[in-house]
């Protein structure tokens, strides 16, 4: 179970952004995974909890940005449950050509990956990085991003362009 990186943000933000929108509406990228995918219900539960915490952290009131998890306390419990699900450790590898490191687990690899994402989410929401988490307010966007530059206002250049076009349209049409 490996998430495709779309924007280059932290894994918890990438997981939150598996809910996305386009002209046809709001979509769930986890619906595209095979029905029997290991860890899929847990992945969806963690994603929904993270989106709830992000909405709280960013004061996000967008209807499409909302999560089915109603309470912040329930979202916190879900993140903590995922983080505690799989003990894991780093191992150092040497194959003669060079060094590498991997994460090993005594349990299901999908649970270990969920635990890694949940652990990064705990660092994000419980640390100073929480202040840099933003909801993208471009028209039709439901994504979150970590503001890494003082002038960054949107999750992507495409959303920034859409926001500027909408602002121009409002000025010239009113």
The predicted structure's pLDDT at residue 113: 86
20, 138 contact by CB (below 8 A):
no
- Band (pLDDT 50/70/90 cuts) for residue 5 is very low
Is 120 part of a structural domain of the chain? yes
pLDDT over 70 at 156, yes or no: yes
Please report whether residue 129 resides in a domain. Answer: yes
Q: Is residue 167 a part of any domain in this protein?
A: yes
pLDDT at 4 over 80: no
Count of structural domains, the chain: 1
Lowest-pLDDT choice from 46-50, 107-111, 168-172: 107-111
Read off the CATH number of the domain in which 118 is found. Answer: 1.10.3300.10
H helix intervals, the chain: 11-16, 40-58, 72-84, 109-126, 157-173
pLDDT of residue 36: 52
pTM of this structure: 0.80
Residues 6+ apart with CB under 8 A from 102: 90, 91, 93
pLDDT tens, position by position, 24-49: 988 998 886 655 555 578 899 999 99
Residue 140 structural domain: 11-84+114-173
C-alpha pair distances (Å), 27 with each of 20, 31, 152:
5, 8, 25
The pLDDT score that the predictor gives to residue 66 is 72
In a domain, 91, yes or no: no
Average pLDDT (81-96) is 85
DSSP state of 107: S
User: How confident is the model at residue 171, as a pLDDT?
Assistant: 92
The CA distance from 131 to 5, in Å, is 22
Asked if residues 133 and 155 have their Cβ atoms less than 8 Å apart, the reply is: no
3 belongs to a structural domain: no
Q: Could you tell me if residue 94 is inside a domain?
A: no
Is residue 105 domain-resident? no
Mean pLDDT, all residues of the chain: 86
pLDDT at 112: 84
Specify whether the CB–CB gap between 61 and 51 falls below 8 A.
no
Give the orientation angle of helix 109-126 with respect to helix 40-58, to 10 degrees: 10
Q: What is the rounded CA–CA span in Å between residue 44 and residue 104?
A: 23
The verdict on residue 108 lying in a domain is: no
Backbone angles phi, psi at 48, to 5 degrees: -65, -40
């Amino acid at each position: 179970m490996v998430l495709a990186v779309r924007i280059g943000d932290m894994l918890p933000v990438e997981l939150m952004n598996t809910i996305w929108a386009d002209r046809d509406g709001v979509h769930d990228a986890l619906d595209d995974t095979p029905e029997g995918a290991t860890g899929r219900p847990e992945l969806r539960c963690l994603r929904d909890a993270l989106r709830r915490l992000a909405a709280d952290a960013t004061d996000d009131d967008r209807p499409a940005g909302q999560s089915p998890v109603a309470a912040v306390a329930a979202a916190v419990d879900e993140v903590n449950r995922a983080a505690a699900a799989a003990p894991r450790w780093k191992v150092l590898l040497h194959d003669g050509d060079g060094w590498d490191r991997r994460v090993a687990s005594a349990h299901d690899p999908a649970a270990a990956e969920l635990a890694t994402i949940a652990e990064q989410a705990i660092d994000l929401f419980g640390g100073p990085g929480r202040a840099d988490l933003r909801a993208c307010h471009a028209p039709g966007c439901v994504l979150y991003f970590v503001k890494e530059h003082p002038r960054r206002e949107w999750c992507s250049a495409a959303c920034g362009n859409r926001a500027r076009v909408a602002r121009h349209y409002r000025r010239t049409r009113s």
